[in-house]
Structure 1
């Protein structure tokens, strides 16, 4: 019995995945219950790494290393990123020589529409689109590094 439990426990850790907030705003709590205090809130497309699941709740880690619990029903498998640098350029095309469409700041979230090499085509909730280099973001695996979402 303990061997089966160990295999199940190991497989839930081994299957850690990146999920994203699918609702307009989600509460991230200190524990797996609505009676626990809210640690922080996040908006649609905010990516998180699921570390553990318990009774309809997910223990997560975000791009800043913060740990919290969120109701499983508020997350979905959507390709999204959060900007991890203080400021970044979002470009019209996937090259540094392309015009800057707009600038983004740390903590802004985007849905990923496409990928070309190390570039991600992104869109925000307001519909602004463009290309950003993947090294400016957290949430998608790097093309050459299986640990890119760590």
Structure 2
């Protein structure tokens, strides 16, 4: 069986190259969203008068911390907190690979067939939580399967 290897490309990959060390969040109590179709400015305060701290590329996953008057306080994969306009976020969830390489399996088990490999910082669309410790994901090319939750952020 042929397996695919995904590498980071484009703006989203460039963003994640800047990530360095990644923050491990407690997924059981977290709420995640992704930046919508356009890049979004991340601010130091819930106002356009706040300091611009980063331009988040489309699809970037964020953890929602607080909503306030059209603004959302978010945590990114590095653990940094900032504010974004709520309208810049979408309910569509993406995750980012944090392991050096994550195997995407046909079923949520180490013994299942490998369908693809995703390198560190590749964005995958979150599909659903699966068996304990597993997440169903889909790559932008349509390949889908299961990845270990410990190898991604944004779940």
TM-score range relative to shorter protein: 0.5 to 0.7
Q: After TM superposition, which residue ranges in structure 1, 4 or more long, deviate above 4 angstroms?
A: none
Distance 1:16 1:98, change over 3 A: closer
8 Å contact kept, 2:96–2:122: yes
Alignment of 1:1-150 (within 5 A): 17-34=31-48, 36-44=51-59, 46-117=60-131, 118-140=133-155
Work out the CA distance in 2 between the residues paired with 1:24 and 1:131: 28
TM-score (norm 2): 0.65
Q: Secondary structure at the match of 2:78?
A: coil
Unaligned runs of 5+ residues in structure 1 are: 1-14, 141-150
| 1:123 CA drift (Å) | 1.0
TM-score by length of 1: 0.67
- Could you tell me how far apart the structure 2 residues matched to 1:18 and 1:115 are? 13
Q: Is the 1:25–1:42 Cα contact (8 Å) retained in structure 2?
A: yes
Matches of 1:18 and 1:56, distance apart in 2:
17
Distance 2:145 2:38 in 1: 22
Asked if 1 retains the 8 angstrom alpha-carbon contact of 2:42 and 2:82, the reply is yes
RMSD after superposition: 2.5
Q: Which has the higher contact order (CA 8 A, sep 6+)?
A: 2
Q: Secondary structure at the match of 2:129?
A: strand
List runs of 5+ in structure 2 lacking aligned partners: 1-28
CA deviation string 1:41-63 (max 9, x = no partner): 2322x321222333322121112
